[in-house]
Amino acid sequence: MTKTVEPMIPSAPRAIFFDVDGTLVSHRTKRVPPSTVAALAELRRRGCKVIVATGRSMPEFGFLPLQDLTFDGYVLVGGQEARDVDGKVIFSDPIVGYDLAVLLEEFRARRRPILFYESVRMYANFVNDHVRQVEAEVSTPVPPIDEPRPDLPVLKAIIYEDATREDDLMARLPGCKATRWHRGAYDVVPAAGGKVAGIQALLDHYGIAPEQTMAFGDGENDADMLRYVHTGVAMGNGDADAKAAADIVCGDIDEDGLARALADFGLI
């Protein structure tokens, strides 16, 4: 690890939040490291809540290799939805108003590939080779093609573009912000949204203070979360934004970095 541990670790954190892609799931091995499975089980045995904090939606858990893990809560869709241990939605923050109108127009104009996330489904306006490549690199099936429905709120949009065109769209979305999770794709969520919003909702639900929390993440879209919790830990395989936001940088996901960090902290 690259920074001193002792001053920053709660004596007994009541909740630890974990990103999925690149933090729990390795896309090099296409699995959760066995050491991570054992570490999270031990955390729960000791009474610490293990909560996932991901850009993924609940339906995506069906094809991710997470079957050996048990979670006490879910921060989903980049923080735009939170669910309790039973999967009940306790918080939702969709894109609305002018920003939604702009995104709907872009979706239907097909000028760029866009993926919309709702609570129970996700769908794209069209798919090209760029979309296929991005999704393959995060072990995700190519999304289905569908149309928005007025009765189903849009929680998040994924724009499949590199950084050279990001400003062009975001300048037209004054009530939204972008967080990049891949060199070829970024999330669009409400300006006050992000993983911290979902985390706050779950902490309120469980009566846990931010001072009693930790989080592990690896991407730009984890940076706010890593700054918000008492102790933010970036994976060694993480990007520069995550590492800059974190209190501590641990080892690589494929070198048992997460489990080793929890053991070094004396939490397992």
What proportion of the chain, given as a percentage, has pLDDT over 70? 96
Q: Which helix (H) or strand (E) holds 227?
A: helix 223-228
46/83 Cα distance (integer angstroms):
22
141-180: per-residue pLDDT in tens? 999 999 999 999 999 999 999 877 778 899 999 999 998 8
At residue 84, the 3 state secondary structure works out as coil
pLDDT bin (cut points 50, 70, 90) of residue 5 is very low
Which two structure tokens, joined as six digits, stand for 257?
Answer: 């970095």
The dotted CATH code for 97-190 is 3.30.1240.10
Map tokens 């990049």 to a residue.
180
Candidates 28, 27, 78; CA nearest to 199 is: 78
Q: Which helix (H) or strand (E) holds 168?
A: helix 166-170
92-126: per-residue pLDDT in tens? 999 999 999 999 999 999 999 999 999 999 999 99
User: What average pLDDT is seen over the chain?
Assistant: 93
Question: Pairing between strand 73-76 and 49-53?
Answer: parallel
> 235 and 257 in contact (C-beta within 8 Å)?
yes
Amino acid found at 63: F
Q: pTM for this one?
A: 0.90
Instruction: Give the residue extent of every domain in the chain.
Output: 6-92+194-264, 97-190
DSSP states along 199-210: HHHHHHHHT--G
Higher pLDDT, 62 or 156: 156
The dotted CATH code for 6-92+194-264 is 3.40.50.1000
Tell the burial category of 11 from Cβ atoms under 10 Å away from its Cβ (0-12, 13-18, 19+). exposed
195/80 Cα distance (integer angstroms):
7
122/56 Cα distance (integer angstroms):
10
